Amino acid sequence: MIAPGSTIGILGGGQLGRMMAIAAAQLGYRCIGYAPQGDNVAEEVCADFFTNKWNDAQAMAAFAQKCDVITWEFENVPVGPLEPIAGQLAPHPRALETAQDRLNEKRFVEQLGGRPAPYVPVAIRGDLTEAVERIGLPGILKTRRDGYDGKGQWRLRDRQDVEGLSFKGEDCIYEGFVEFDAEFSVILVRTREGDIRFWDSSRNVHSDGVLDTSSLPAGELIGSQVEEARALAKKIADALGYVGVLTLEFFATKQGPVFNEMAPRVHNSGHWTIEGAATSQFENHIRAICGLPLGDTSTIASTVEMTNIIGKDAKTAHGCLADPAAHLHLYGKAKPRPGRKMGHVTRISRG
């Protein structure tokens, strides 16, 4: 067990790290962060912060020396620089290696019995032409690495879209379009000993590739597919020897749950757990990586809706507080821009 008063290192400086550090402080831990130069909003709530490049071996070693355990809030942290400190990391870097490459991720999930959308690797223009012939249109071309919140993705609706695409030859994956009735996520937390707990799955609605709302109850269709999706999530967590919070996103289809992608971290669709669950995803992540008993993941509200504040000036957000059911979380980001998450509002009902 990592005793209270110890230091937790967080790789990444975004809002997930910020909320993680707040939860850690409530449990008596001190957090320090590490991230390259940027709008590192987690720095405001960390006791110390290293602003260095990921490949700065000397800075990374100095950071690790101050930490009793290290985790991350951002799945695109390069794995190579983490090798010297892998023994301090929770989860293990193998989770990052798996999730950072969409092709490897899908193959890994298939080996465990999961069902992703049909896909084909694409590296050159000829590959894309063959992929479209094989899978058909519409479809989505995605970079194998570094894409999130709709970035690194191109929707191809027809031949004109394919012909007009400026394809630079980077490693990609072409996915067939999945006809789905709803989207949902499975969020779990796992201890080193293999104890796993799940939060209720929310219905997720996206806009331009970015999560807009997560709500509970999620509805009958999602409810009927959660058990199968959870079984896959458990297999993945066990296969990775995972420690902490792990998120899998699914499409609810007439044929059952279709795996979309996984995030080896706390997740935007789990923000509702701060007010809507007995123990939030952030607190349980800290509990898991520090070897503490896990908290109850039960939903404690009759209805929940989490809405992201996207691309708007957060200074105007306080107006929502006129609603007694609203809980506002602002991330402290300096400038809004299209698609940028500036905060979120959670509305709960206990009736």
Q: What is the pLDDT of residues 150-163, one digit of tens each?
A: 678 889 999 988 88
Please list the ranges in the chain whose pLDDT falls under 50: none
Instruction: Please indicate, yes or no, whether residues 206 and 165 belong to a single structural domain of this protein.
Output: no
Instruction: Please indicate, yes or no, whether residues 220 and 311 belong to a single structural domain of this protein.
Output: yes
Instruction: Please indicate, yes or no, whether residues 209 and 61 belong to a single structural domain of this protein.
Output: no
pLDDT at res. 147: 66
Instruction: Please indicate, yes or no, whether residues 155 and 60 belong to a single structural domain of this protein.
Output: no
pLDDT at res. 85: 97
Number of domains, the chain:
3
End position of a domain, from candidates 176, 205, 225: 176
Instruction: Please indicate, yes or no, whether residues 249 and 171 belong to a single structural domain of this protein.
Output: no
Instruction: Please indicate, yes or no, whether residues 232 and 319 belong to a single structural domain of this protein.
Output: yes
Instruction: Please indicate, yes or no, whether residues 30 and 74 belong to a single structural domain of this protein.
Output: yes
Tell me, yes or no, whether 303 lies in a domain: yes
Structure confidence by residue, pLDDT tens digits, 3-13 = 999 999 999 99
Full 3-state SS string of the chain: CCCCCCEEEEECCCHHHHHHHHHHHHCCCEEEEEECCCCCHHHHHCCEEEECCCCCHHHHHHHHHCCCEEEECCCCCCCHHHHHHHHHECCCCHHHHHHCCHHHHHHHHHHCCCCECCEEEECCHHHHHHHHHHHCCCEEEEECCCCCCCCCEEEECCHHHHHHCCCCCCCEEEEECCCCCEEEEEEEEECCCCCEEECCCCEEEEECCEEEEEEECCCHHHHHHHHHHHHHHHHHHHHHCCCEEEEEEEEEECCEEEEEEEECCCCHHHCCHHHHECCCHHHHHHHHHCCCCCCCCCECCCEEEEEEEECCCHHHHHHHHHCCCEEEEECCCCCCCCCCEEEEEEEEECC
CATH code for the domain in which residue 135 is found: 3.30.1490.20
pLDDT at res. 316: 87
Could you tell me the residue range of the domain that residue 64 belongs to? Answer: 7-89
pLDDT at res. 119: 96
Tell me, yes or no, whether 237 lies in a domain: yes
pLDDT at res. 153: 87
Tell me, yes or no, whether 109 lies in a domain: no
